[in-house]
A and B are shown apart, each in its own frame.
Chain A
């Protein structure tokens, strides 16, 4: 196993390499059970331009980081994506969750794909494309995953603006008669 860094060292290693591009990092320690063992979550904001290198740097810490999922939400003028990684699994109490937030401007919400580094990210990137309307550059299979093909094109269900699904909503309680 690679040498295990403490959370502070991890954040420092990111900060040394990307300096100002990493903003408001924070380390959360949660306790659970009677023995009060700690769970560590690291949160950090990353600029879109260096996102791919951040993932490459993360691969140096752990050869195969586990990408759980990418969550995304519409902040009005920008779209925020949160990539949830977790590293150092395999040893008891040692896993650390690392959540990287990337902000995409709404006019052209594009981001590079990371499927060449982590092939497991394909489905979550496809889902972001169809749910938030972002464009993942270089995605190997550009196809809809969860929404059917006859779903109208320009509508993105998680958007809160005019591209939202307002027109499609059906309330199942309307009694037919």
Chain B
């Protein structure tokens, strides 16, 4: 067959599109207004591709269980975990974290676990919601 790709292209026309239209089908005329509507519940965004069970997303830190043993700092490959001397707790910079969840495995009281939130983008890399306290 001269062009074996032609049959693919034609058969693709009658199939359901493979795209998962994430925030919305096309650009809203004003994104800020669209995001306010979504916040207020008037508009609905199409959800992203759902994450599997133990997906490695934004890290969650259970402050009470932490005993300040600093094992996670010893094992973190990106120096993303800072130790706070006075209250014997840790502070994790998400801008440095490489989401390897090695700290979860080493933590004796397993107070660290990986959430599944992954839409993390911000204008300032050390902003409040990018530091897990």
Do A and B touch (CB < 8 Å)? Answer: yes
CB of A175 within 8 A of CB of B126, answer: yes
CA gap between A75 and B96 in the complex, in Å: 34
We find that the number of chain B residues with CB closer than 8 angstroms to chain A is 3
Closest to B80 in A: A173
Residues of A near B96 (CB, < 8 A) are 173
Q: Is the interface of B mostly helix, strand, loop or mixed?
A: loop
At the interface, yes or no: B79 with Cβ under 8 Å from chain A?
yes
We find that the number of chain A residues with CB closer than 8 angstroms to chain B is 2
Closest to B78 in A: A173
CB of A173 within 8 A of CB of B126, answer: no
CA gap between A175 and B125 in the complex, in Å: 11
CA gap between A173 and B80 in the complex, in Å: 10
Q: Which residues of A from 120 to 177 have beta carbons under 8 Å from B?
A: 173, 175
| Interface residues as binary, B78-102 with A (CB distance below 8 Å gives 1, 0 otherwise) | 0100000000000000001000000
CA gap between A175 and B126 in the complex, in Å: 10
**B94 shortest CB reach to chain A, Å:** 14
CA gap between A173 and B79 in the complex, in Å: 9
Residues of A near B79 (CB, < 8 A) are 173
Closest to A175 in B: B126
CA gap between A175 and B96 in the complex, in Å: 12
Residues of A near B126 (CB, < 8 A) are 175
**A173 shortest CB reach to chain B, Å:** 6
CA gap between A173 and B126 in the complex, in Å: 11
Q: Which residues of B from 54 to 83 have beta carbons under 8 Å from A?
A: 79
Closest to A177 in B: B126
Contacts A/B (CB < 8 Å), 3 sampled: A173-B79, A173-B96, A175-B126
Interface residues, chain B, CB within 8 Å of chain A? 79, 96, 126
Q: Which 3 A-B pairs have the closest CB atoms?
A: A173-B79, A173-B96, A175-B126
